[in-house]
Amino acid sequence: MSVSLPEIKPRSRFTRRWSWNKRAPLRGFYNACLRLFQRTLMDYCITGLENVPPSGGAIVMINHINFWDPLVVMPSLGRDVIPMTKVEAWESPLRWFVTYYGAIPVHRGEVDTAAIRAATEALNEGFLVLISPEGTRSPTGALIRAQEGMAYLATRTNAPILPVAIQGTPDIFPSLKRLRRARVQVTVGPLFTLDTGGQRPDRAMLAQLTDYAMRRLAALLPPHMRGAYA
What is the rounded average pLDDT of the residues 221-229? 98
* Phi, psi values for residue 109, rounded to 5°: 80, 15
Say if residue 126's pLDDT is above 80.
Answer: yes
Confidence of residue 3 (pLDDT cuts 50, 70, 90): very low
Distance of CA 103 to CAs 41, 60, 106, 213, Å? 24, 14, 9, 23
Secondary structure (3-state) at 166: strand
Give the integer Cα–Cα distance in Å for 64 and 137. 5
Confidence class for position 1, pLDDT limits 50, 70, 90 = very low
Q: Check: CATH 3.40.1130.10 for 42-222? A: yes
pLDDT over 50 (residue 150): yes
Residue-level pLDDT at 17: 75
Quick one: pLDDT at residue 73? 98
74-89 confidence digits (pLDDT tens): 999 999 999 999 999 9
172-187 per-position pLDDT tens digit: 999 999 999 999 999 9
Q: Per-domain residue ranges for the chain?
A: 42-222
What CA–CA distance (Å, rounded) separates 130 from 61? 6
d(CA 4, CA 207): 11
